[in-house]
Amino acid sequence: MEPRKRHVFLLWMLVCAGSTQAIEPISTSIAVGMAAALTGFLASYQNIFYYFHECCRPEWISFNSSGLKVDLEQKLFGQHIASRIVLKALTGFMNNAQPKKPLVLSLHGSTGTGKNFVSQIIAENIYKEGMDSSFVHVFTSELHFPHASKIDTYKSQLQQWIKGNVTNCGRSMFIFDEMDKMHPGLIDSIKPYLEYYDKVDGVCYRKAIFIFLSNAGGESITQIALDFWRAGQDRQTIDLKDLEVPLSLSVFNNKQSGLWHTSLIDKNLVDYFVPFLPLEHKHIVQCALAEMEAKGMVKNHEVADQLARDLVYFPKAERVFSVKGCKTIESKLDYYT
Ligand SMILES: Nc1ncnc2c1ncn2[C@@H]1O[C@H](COP(=O)(O)OP(=O)(O)OP(=O)(O)O)[C@@H](O)[C@H]1O
Ligand SMILES: *[C@@H]1O[C@H](CO)[C@@H](O)[C@H](O)[C@H]1NC(C)=O
Ligand SMILES: *[C@@H]1O[C@H](CO)[C@@H](O)[C@H](O)[C@H]1NC(C)=O
Ligand SMILES: [Mg+2]
């Protein structure tokens, strides 16, 4: 190691060592060595925080429940059910010092309704570095596991990744995007980590968070939202009860996405199914306004409304729900301004 790197490494050990059993107990000589290195380090570099590495400690990982609540209320539009479940699930789990199993959330809904967005909000309210945290891991089937023929390699790789990362930090988060496109064998390979085991091979997984994202069941959620709309009932009156049965039925019966779910549902490994409703014109307007603000533009209701009106809605005659949710707003905005 070159001297500068060594200094950084030693500092990292000093700062992060508290939670890493592998290098405990620290012998006096090492401690003295580290102190010497730190002194040298401080002398050499003025801005020590520049070298400050993220580590598995409360300084970098702590749950902000009021932050999560505010973010869900203010940034997430039209998802009263998802918002409620996510807040309840996370608050319960993160405030429990001894959870019995890892938290497993399964987020369902049609495209552009906010599934990735919510995982991002969750990450930001647990990890200081948010999605950039080295303790947050996103797996996309098409990106990480594209070839069905290599499934056995992927399986052992994924198991090693999960094991390695949870060993490093118990409070790790794993997001599986496009879960419905994931090979069923891969899902099987992660099942042991989701269960009520005290420890698997000496590693404790109970503080980890798993989030599955998929479009599975999106159509039945949409159908129910449409039924409510046609009956003239307020969207806010849609309750989880109304969605639970149709959601699980459609997920079970769908040959393409059913496989992975059946085994997970059977064993009660998923703690919460979180439905995302299709978005209406008014939510698209809100998304457009939020995007303007994010870009540092002056919020313009007319432009937002025009943009929202030009999107494609379904059913064709009534134009109730946006086909792509809020997904293309960001790029569209450039065209309208
Ligand atoms: N309900 C929402 N409230 C606020 N913003 C939203 C909402 N839904 C989507 N958005 C915006 O649209 C973008 C795209 O949404 P997101 O990636 O979360 O969709 P998704 O549900 O993951 O869709 P897909 O199933 O296609 O992956 C988000 O980054 C966010 O800016
Ligand atoms: C929690 O979030 C709130 C609202 O976003 C913020 O004001 C507060 O500073 C956060 N607290 C911590 C400890 O980060
Ligand atoms: C943690 O997961 C990432 C993938 O997100 C992987 O590249 C890395 O090797 C894993 N770390 C360990 C120690 O297994
Ligand atoms: Mg997504």
Query: Are 302 and 185 found together in one domain?
Result: no
222 annotated as belonging to a binding site for a ligand: no
The residue nearest atom 9 of ligand 1, judged by CA position, is 114
Query: Are 257 and 120 found together in one domain?
Result: yes
Query: Are 20 and 136 found together in one domain?
Result: no
Longest dimension (CA), the chain: 77
Query: Are 266 and 288 found together in one domain?
Result: no
Say how many Å lie between the CA of residue 329 and the centre of ligand 2. 28
Query: Are 196 and 288 found together in one domain?
Result: no
Query: Are 329 and 251 found together in one domain?
Result: no
Range of the domain at 24: 3-51
Q: Which ligand is nearest to the CA of 115?
A: 1
Pick the residue with more confidence: 26 or 232? Answer: 232
Determine whether 173 is exposed, middle or buried from the number of CB atoms within 10 Å of its CB (0-12, 13-18, 19+).
buried
Confidence of residue 22 (pLDDT cuts 50, 70, 90): very low
Q: What is the CATH number of the domain that holds 93?
A: 3.40.50.300
Query: Are 44 and 153 found together in one domain?
Result: no
CA atoms of 272 and 264, how far apart (whole Å): 12
- Res 20: pLDDT: 43
Cβ–ligand 1 contact at 275 (below 6 Å): no
CA atoms of 127 and 131, how far apart (whole Å): 8
Query: Are 169 and 104 found together in one domain?
Result: yes
- Name the token pair of 169: 């930090």
> How many domains does one find in the chain?
3
Q: Considering the chain, what is the average pLDDT of its residues?
A: 87
Using the predicted structure, report yes or no on whether residue 75 has a pLDDT greater than 50: yes
Query: Are 145 and 120 found together in one domain?
Result: yes
Summary count for the chain: helices (H), strands (E): 14, 7
Determine whether 285 is exposed, middle or buried from the number of CB atoms within 10 Å of its CB (0-12, 13-18, 19+).
buried
Using the predicted structure, report yes or no on whether residue 17 has a pLDDT greater than 70: no
Query: Are 161 and 269 found together in one domain?
Result: yes
- Res 156: pLDDT: 95
Query: Are 44 and 71 found together in one domain?
Result: no
pTM: 0.88
Ligand 4 ion: residues within 5 Å (CB): 115-116
| Residue list, ligand 2 pocket, CB within 6 Å | 64, 66-67, 70
Q: Which ligand is nearest to the CA of 138?
A: 3
Ligand 3 pocket, mutate which of 55, 131, 137 (most atoms under 8 A from CB): 137
Q: Helix (H, G, I), strand (E, B), or coil: what is residue 267?
A: coil
